[in-house]
């Protein structure tokens, strides 16, 4: 059979032919599409005609389309539906892709053409998007070694290959550790405090594996209810220690040496390119600009948040003391926080979950997108899926013009990493007057339906779904000429704005009425529960802010200094966390060895961006609140200047076009109750 990855897809909306793809097709496909892309690059670099924006910059931008499609399919599967064979292939092809990327970025003939165009940019009469593309292409070459000597170029190639391989291995180790842990309970008394839904899910998981009793794992829908509700403190401790010790056990899946190798290689790479540290390299292309600005931003917030966090922690200690606990530990946090929330607001997730059936919440997100941005979502069954649990949607505007394909994948599986993310299988671009539309995916890990109940979400899961759907809107509403500037291809500390701003609708009565309906009676969520949700919005916000700041500061500690003398991951992490820790340290646990955001994902020197974007999102939502959360004029401005523009202009310029002014940091402090 012909390799379907190499043929025209000829599927509905040009989607990926998942049902025809076998793992063994990938290596051959990568070999072929890399060769095609290399030929395209050689043709651009070696052409006889004088370099122009069209024959060099645009030609380069639209090269490698087949390679991009195959890569997106493969690496998305490696996150959401992986297995040992896919992981083996990933380790094999990653060096190929790194080599290919460096073949482009270190190609002297190609860079010579780009440099000639860049030096004459002021005479080219480029529009803003073309100007941004030229700047980005030129900088990407300079920032990735185009001006290095031949010997240093070879050093850079080796470093890049090692980092790519280590990052993959880091993720594989965490997934293996997560999958390896199982807690089986046979004594029903140990389930005291757990909600019926969590017990039923644990029973169903045990039954699926032919195990007697109840099965709990480190997947979030299993782990979080146990940590939040189990009265048995020993059980909570066992789970917390297992979760915190992932890839920190000096076994075959240990990530300590990988962490040290990655940070040292990143630093070496930055130095080779003329930067003080990896953070200096990364932040040059961010709104924040420098490590000094990031650390100042984080520490300024820390000063404001720490007193509130201490106050929150004292409340947790007080309620735990009533149970005779003199030393509150990390495995007590979620449990006593939930008790405190119930005491303070007479509110807990079990009270809310019946109103947040997954299907209803998703339809609510769709309805909100329709009211704001004139989008329609129709589930379709003519699109291939990589797993039966995935649902597929055709997205159109109100005139039935095709906008995007949306994949939604909501439940944990053995081959799927923890957490939630948005990704794309195909970018948007405009070429030859054809607006080629994107294929977007949101991936989460929510509680599966049981024989007696549909998937019911905690309120935190509701905001998670809205968060990822906000990213999806950024991808789906993309409307730019060039794929590398389209959708979420923006500065990393700007990319969280569309996702975080959409979470605000989860707290508004006008929005909740659209989807918060009891799963058995259809009753709309009572106004008193809506009031409680709003009142509890800032519950333990000091501690939540402190937690995020601690992760941002740890990221900067790893990447904003020379790591040559670091030889103990745990000791270094403990020092980095000084000034942000409330709970006693747990010797058996380590955050860094499972910190996928910075060692596997793209957030190295960028974790601060969650808080940075919160400043933008709080200020942006003020604009909606001023005229009404479904105000069409405000939504149109947000769609025009933020969601559709991608990375075509500087983020702050786009933001000020939307808002009419620079963001006000006090909006975040006010919303968080930290003023």
Tell me which residue of 56, 62, 36 sits closest to 44, measured CA to CA: 56
Strands 439-443 and 391-397: unpaired
Long-range pairs, 595-598, Cβ under 8 A, ≥24:
595/551, 595/554, 595/555, 596/170, 596/171, 596/174, 596/417, 596/419, 597/551, 597/555, 598/555, 598/558, 598/559
The active-site residue out of 468, 508, 573, 649 is 468
CB 199 within 8 A of CB 214: yes
Which residues partner with 429 through β-bridges? 436
Q: 90-123 burial, b for 16+ CB within 10 Å, e for fewer?
A: beebbeebbebbbbbbbbeebbebbbebbeeeee
Which residues partner with 431 through β-bridges? 434
What is the Cα–Cα distance from 30 to 91, expressed in whole angstroms? 13
Query: In this structure, what are the phi and psi dihedrals at residue 40, rounded to the nearest 5 degrees?
Result: -60, -45
What is the Cα–Cα distance from 361 to 279, expressed in whole angstroms? 39
Q: How many C-beta atoms surround the C-beta of residue 645 within 10 A?
A: 26
**Alpha helices, DSSP H, located in 57-125:** 59-61, 65-80, 84-105, 108-119
523 is catalytic: no
Structure tokens that stand for 389 in this block: 């649990």
Reduce the secondary structure of 514-527 to three states and give it as a string: HHCECCCCCCECCH
Packed helices 84-105 and 65-80: angle between N→C axes, nearest 10 degrees: 140
**∠ Cα 470 362 521 (to 5°):** 145
> At a CB cut-off of 8 Å and minimum separation 6, what does 605 contact?
278, 279, 281, 282, 283, 291, 294, 555, 556, 559, 560, 598
CB 474 within 8 A of CB 491: no
- Active-site positions read 468
């Amino acid at each position: 059979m012909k390799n379907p990855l190499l043929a025209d897809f000829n599927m509905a909306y040009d989607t990926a032919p998942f049902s025809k793809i076998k793992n063994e097709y990938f290596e051959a496909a990568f070999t072929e599409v890399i060769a095609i892309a290399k030929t395209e690059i050689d043709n651009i670099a070696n052409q006889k005609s004088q370099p122009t924006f069209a024959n060099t910059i645009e030609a380069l931008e639209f090269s490698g389309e087949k390679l991009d499609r195959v890569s997106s399919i493969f690496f998305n599967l490696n996150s959401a539906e992986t297995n040992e064979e896919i992981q083996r292939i990933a380790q094999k092809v990653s060096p190929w892709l790194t080599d290919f990327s460096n073949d482009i970025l270190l190609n002297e003939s190609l860079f010579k053409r780009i440099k000639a165009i860049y030096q004459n940019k002021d005479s080219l009469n480029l529009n803003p998007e073309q100007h941004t593309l030229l700047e980005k292409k030129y900088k990407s070459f300079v920032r990735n070694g185009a001006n290095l000597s031949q010997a240093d170029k070879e050093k850079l190639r080796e470093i890049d290959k090692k980092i790519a391989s280590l990052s993959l291995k880091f993720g594989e180790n965490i997934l293996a550790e997560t999958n390896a842990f199982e807690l089986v309970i046979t004594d029903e008394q140990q389930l005291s405090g757990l909600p019926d839904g969590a017990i039923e899910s644990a029973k169903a998981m045990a039954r699926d594996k032919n195990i007697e009793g109840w099965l709990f794992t480190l997947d979030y829908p299993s782990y979080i209810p146990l940590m939040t509700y189990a009265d048995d403190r020993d059980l909570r401790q066992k789970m917390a220690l297992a979760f915190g010790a992932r890839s920190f056990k000096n076994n075959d899946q240990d990530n300590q040496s990988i962490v040290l190798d990655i940070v040292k290689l990143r630093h070496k790479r930055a130095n080779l390119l003329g930067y003080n540290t990896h953070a200096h390299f990364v932040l040059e292309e961010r709104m924040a600009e420098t490590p000094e600005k990031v650390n100042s931003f984080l520490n300024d917030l820390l000063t404001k948040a720490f007193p509130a966090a201490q106050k929150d922690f004292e409340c947790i200690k007080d309620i735990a003391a009533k149970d005779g606990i003199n030393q509150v530990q990390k495995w007590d946090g979620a449990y006593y926080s939930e008790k405190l929330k119930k005491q303070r607001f007479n509110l807990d997730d079990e009270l809310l979950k019946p109103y947040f059936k997954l299907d209803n919440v998703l339809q609510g997100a769709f309805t909100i997108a329709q009211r704001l941005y004139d989008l329609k979502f129709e589930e379709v069954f003519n699109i291939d899926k990589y797993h039966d649990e995935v649902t597929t949607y055709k997205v159109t505007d109100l005139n039935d013009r095709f906008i995007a394909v949306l994949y939604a994948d909501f439940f944990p599986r053995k081959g799927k990493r923890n957490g939630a993310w948005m990704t794309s299988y195909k970018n948007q671009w405009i070429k030859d007057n054809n607006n080629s539309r994107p294929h977007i995916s949101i991936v989460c890990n929510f509680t599966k339906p049981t024989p007696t109940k549909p998937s019911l979400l905690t309120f935190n899961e509701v905001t998670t779904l809205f968060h990822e759907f906000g990213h999806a809107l950024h991808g789906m509403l993309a409307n730019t000429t060039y794929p590398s500037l389209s959708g979420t291809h923006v500065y990393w500390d700007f990319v969280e704005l569309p996702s975080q701003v959409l979470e605000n609708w989860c707290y508004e009565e006008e929005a909740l009425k659209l989807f918060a309906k009891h799963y058995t009676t259809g009753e709309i969520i009572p106004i008193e529960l809506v009031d409680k949700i709003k009142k509890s919005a800032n519950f333990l916000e000091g501690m939540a802010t402190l937690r995020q700041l601690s992760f941002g500061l740890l990221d900067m500690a790893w990447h904003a200094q020379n790591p040559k003398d670091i030889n103990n991951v745990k000791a270094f992490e403990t020092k980095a966390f000084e000034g942000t820790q409330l709970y006693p340290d747990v010797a058996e646990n380590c955050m860094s060895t499972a910190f996928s955001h910075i060692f596997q994902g793209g957030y190295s020197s960028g974790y601060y961006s969650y808080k940075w974007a919160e400043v933008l999102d709080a200020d942006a939502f003020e604009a909606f609140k001023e005229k009404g959360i479904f105000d069409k004029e405000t939504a149109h401005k947000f769609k025009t200047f933020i969601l559709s523009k991608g990375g075509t202009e500087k983020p702050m310029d786009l933001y000020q076009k939307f808002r009419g002014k620079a963001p006000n940091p006090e909006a975040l402090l006010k919303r968080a109750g930290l003023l």
